A and B are shown apart, each in its own frame.
Chain A
Amino acid sequence: MNNELTMPACAIPGTPLAAESAGINACVHCGFCLQACPTYIALGDENDSPRGRIYLMRALMEGELAVDDPAVHTHIDRCLGCRACETACPSGVPYGALLEATRATLSEVKRPPLRARFILALFARRRVMRIAVGAARLLRSTGLPKVLSRLPGDLGFAFAMLASSESPLARARAHAHGGSSAGYDARGDGSRGTFALLRGCVMEGLFTRANRATERTLVANDYRALAAPDQHCCGALHAHAGDLDMARTLARRNIAAFEKSGAEYVVTNAAGCGALLKEYGHLLANDAEWSARAADLSARARDVSELLAAAGPRVGAPLDYRVTYDAPCHLQHAQRITAAPLRVLDAIPGLERVALADADQCCGSAGIYNLLEPALSAAVLAPKIAHIELTGAALVATGNPGCLMQIGAGLQRAGHSARTIHPVELLDASYEAQARAEP
């Protein structure tokens, strides 16, 4: 009988993966994660499941597989990093950390594809990124992307993503208020503490309205805004792709920037960014100079919905929409935030909130995954779109730019009229309506 009760030594000492061996050992391969995994459900191969990927990681550690084994790369690349498996895992396997460490280890022998390297490089350079996003915004304003979204394949999908990033409320509001969409003057007493907003590369560029909504709703709920002008990209995309060095560099810059702001809370409205902010402590755990500061920042990081829920939030004026909520993976699984976004929506009277089946399943966006693995991403997206259709909702609220664009593009390409929106933007619209009603 092949009853192995003892385990061999590590074959890849000194690699990022080797440092995570305790996490791998926590897996008892019970298989409870299988049905939580979007790629397993889509592909039906355990190599594309969390348990299977952990086997591959273990095989790397034990030297059974080489780090250049193509099968390892294929299945690790295919992981969305949605971390739904962490929610399903009774053993507490830190899958997200294992995945990042594995990708970092693998990237030492095989560089990520050109497309990924290009995007990551773009995100790491603040000025270039601003120009790129500015150009995208300009393109969006022409209305061209909406037309071009009908193009077949990846290109059409990319245009659909861009087109769907436009706020569904913008046009309606501009129409109602004679072309003005200047918002309103948010007032609060600042008693709940200070915050600085991590503006986010994509959020600030394409979802400007959501960022302003974040600031206004927090102020309206008695938080006080402080500026953190030196901030950078959070580094989440780099970490997910295994470029841990760049992620650390960006993390250090951000830690310094937010320390300088003096804010009690570092707030983000992008679930993916928030998840990494909360993991800066782990990311820089072995950095003597930065580890304490990183842990401190992680402790102060909040998703906007957390702060709003803690404050109530204040109830606004009625909005007449049928809305469904889709949980971003990095909010639900990585940050374990489930109730707060619903509290935000429930502060809006008149809003008809309908439940979305499998709202806890990934939409397939997963950072830049939809650009790297478009076919699989589309396969994961398809059931999401079908479930949304069943709700009959006009708006799909979700708090992450990738999900907003992925689901938005999916709806647009499938010919559905439903649009995506950040929950905070809805609350903001509710407050705005109230401000207009009671000048």
Chain B
Amino acid sequence: MLARSSELATYSSDGLPGYRLRPRLAVFPTTKQQLIDVVRLLAREHCPFVARGAGTGLSAGALASGDAVVIGLNRLNRILRIDPANRLAVVEPGAVNVTLTRAAGAHGLHYAPDPSSQTACTIGGNVAENSGGPHCLKYGVTLNHVAALEVILASGEIVALGNADGEADGYDLLGAFIGSEGCFGIALEVTVKLTPNPQGVRTLLADFMSIDAGARATSAIIAAGILPAALEMMDGPTIRAVEASIYAAGYPADADAVLLIELDGLDAGLDADVRLVEKHCLAAGARTVRIAANEDERARLWQGRKKAFGAMGRIAPDLVVQDAVIPRTKLPEVLRAIAAIAARWQIQVCNVFHAGDGNLHPNIGYDSRNADESRRVGMAMRDIMRACIDAGGTITGEHGIGLDKLEYMPQIFSPESLAAQCALRDAFDPERRANPGKVVPVHSCREWRGA
């Protein structure tokens, strides 16, 4: 347990720059029973709490303020069981994503959701955020890979959600819990589905002299009905940041966009799909389309993508990252709009994102010591979000609402819809003590039942 103010400072932020909130206390249970005891003690004291995994989240969702206590789950990091025959694994909430994939590797399996932070982030955190990752284009997000949960509610009651031993029945409370950003309770044990490693993988890098061309290639590939395992896009500034980092991936530094496309599955059909993807890229104006010759080259191409967010740290002292999803046909249009917004506010936007899903991640580097620049960045962020919403999109594809996106919620949900979300939270946590103040703006949580 940490109570010293100086040591709580570390827990006043997560992976998202720009927010700091100091918790009242931080506790780090090392056993399931300790976690249960802590939650029940807090229930008796009617004390709010915030569960935290590795603190790699990007929506300020793991921050606690005021009276709230941080419950660090990072020490509950064991892989309890792997059942290769049924492709299931049971893990504690603090188990690190990539650790599970490594452990499953012995059986030719892996855990499919692979957020860029997978070397550090926890499965519990993935459940809370319904995390995605590049490969969720084909394989789906966390929701599609969790079979069952054992959960402790804020009241201290332990409930089983989902069913790992057969079909789930009754209300899909498992589906409701996944992505609830720690507001519905804390997972004690997570039963995840494991995915067989594909027989063959082809990784392609296509480079373009304009973002527009890259976006058109993306739309064409999706419209052609090809389902790549991943389809990622990086724009010129991102390419150059990555190439300047120790993770230089060999992206052509003079390109204005690259697409990183991965196809996987049965070896037999892959090359035909590769040719088709290549055709669409070239038709959209790709300069070259390169296929990774071996596993090392493939790893290098991916390394650059996965570390791109951090590599932005080289461009400017501060960084904000946006996360929005738009219909894939709107990619060229919205990327043009983002460029116009960047020009209007005289800021630099780096786009690195899951193009295949239409999941945009505009990153804006700036210097927080420059008050005027900071203001312009704030305005640009709002404009970008507006453009995405206007294109029929949503305000977060994988980072979650947390604190960061609260202000946008009323822009995409009616008061009734927000109130309904509050009602669902109240069913799980009537005292609203689990991760208070997150996801749904407090004023939306009017008394709903009396309506």
Binding site for B on A (CB under 8 A): 1-7, 22, 25-35, 44-47, 49, 51-52, 55-56, 59, 64-65, 69, 71-72, 75, 87-93, 336
Contact = CB atoms under 8 A, between A and B. Distances in A.
A29 B54 CA distance: 11
A199 B54 CA distance: 43
A65 B317 CA distance: 21
Interface stretch (B227-235, B276-284, B369-377, B420-428): B369-377
Interface in B1-48: 2, 4, 6-7, 9-15, 17-21, 28, 30
Contacts of A92: 245-246, 311, 313-314
Interface stretch (B128-136, B302-310, B389-397): B302-310
Contact of A6 (B19, B310, B313, B369): B369
Contacts of B310: 28, 30, 32, 89-91
Interface string B355-377: 00000000000001101001101
A204 B99 CA distance: 41
B309 A35 contact: no
Nearest to A58: B9
Contacts of A29: 13-15, 17
B403 interface: yes
Contact of A56 (B10, B72, B119, B312): B10
Residue of B12, B56, B65 most packed against chain A (CB within 10 A): B56
B31 to A, nearest CB: 12
Contacts of B10: 46-47, 49, 51-52, 55-56
Given A26-B313, A47-B7, A56-B9, 20 more contacts: A4-B20, A5-B375, A6-B371, A7-B318, A25-B317, A27-B313, A30-B117, A34-B56, A35-B54, A35-B98, A35-B119, A44-B30, A45-B28, A46-B72, A51-B10, A51-B55, A55-B12, A59-B6, A91-B313, A336-B246
Main secondary structure of the interface of A (DSSP, over half): loop
Contact of B56 (A31, A44, A59, A87): A31
A93 B246 CA distance: 11
Contact of A31 (B7, B55, B318): B55
Contacts of B408: none
Nearest to B96: A35
A44 B14 CA distance: 16
Given A31-B55, A32-B117, A92-B314, A44 B378 contact: no
Contact of B11 (A1, A35, A46, A72): A46
A238 to B, nearest CB: 27
Contact of A44 (B12, B19, B75, B247): B75
B209 interface: no
A301 to B, nearest CB: 20
A7 B369 contact: yes
Contacts of A65: 6, 9
A267 B182 CA distance: 54
Contacts of B30: 44
B292 interface: no
A71 B20 CA distance: 19
Contacts of B18: 3-5
A93 B14 CA distance: 18
A344 to B, nearest CB: 21
Contacts of A59: 6, 9
A44 B74 contact: yes
Contacts of A28: 15, 17, 309-310, 312-313, 319
Considering the complex of A and B, which 9 residue pairs feature the smallest CB-CB distances, nearest first? A90-B310, A91-B313, A90-B307, A5-B374, A25-B317, A31-B56, A52-B10, A71-B6, A44-B75
Contacts of A31: 14-15, 54-56, 117, 120-121
Contacts of B15: 28-31
Contact residues on B (Cβ < 8 Å of other chain), bracket: 35 or more
6 contacts: A5-B368, A5-B375, A27-B313, A28-B319, A30-B117, A44-B72
Given A2-B20, A26-B317, A32-B120, A91 B311 contact: yes
A2 B28 CA distance: 25
B56 A32 contact: yes
Contacts of B369: 6-7
A51 B10 CA distance: 8
Interface in B62-120: 65, 72, 74-75, 96, 98-99, 117, 119-120
B311 A90 contact: yes
Contacts of A87: 246
Residue of A27, A32, A51, A336 most packed against chain B (CB within 10 A): A32
A45 B12 CA distance: 13
Interface string B313-336: 110011100000000000000000
Nearest to A28: B313
Contacts of B308: 90
B423 to A, nearest CB: 25
B75 A71 contact: no
Given A56-B9, A59-B9, A91 B119 contact: no
A44 B28 contact: yes
Contact of A2 (B4, B21, B247): B21
A28 B368 CA distance: 12
Nearest to A7: B368
Residue of B10, B99, B119, B312 most packed against chain A (CB within 10 A): B10
Contacts of B371: 5-6
A64 B202 CA distance: 51
Nearest to B246: A92
Contacts of A71: 4, 6-7
Contacts of B7: 45, 47, 71, 75
Contacts of B119: 32, 35, 88
A30 B309 contact: yes
Nearest to A357: B102
A28 B2 CA distance: 24
A74 to B, nearest CB: 9
Contacts of B96: 35
Nearest to B320: A5
A52 to B, nearest CB: 4
Nearest to A52: B10
B403 to A, nearest CB: 7
B19 A3 contact: yes
A35 B96 CA distance: 9
B3 to A, nearest CB: 11
A25 B23 CA distance: 23
A100 B6 CA distance: 21
B435 to A, nearest CB: 16
B403 A1 contact: yes
Given A90-B313, A93-B313, A6 B56 contact: no
A390 B139 CA distance: 35
B313 A4 contact: no
A211 B368 CA distance: 51
Contacts of B368: 4-7
A32 B308 CA distance: 12
A46 B121 CA distance: 13
Contacts of A64: 9
Contacts of A336: 246
Contacts of A93: 313
Contact of B247 (A6, A27, A90): A90
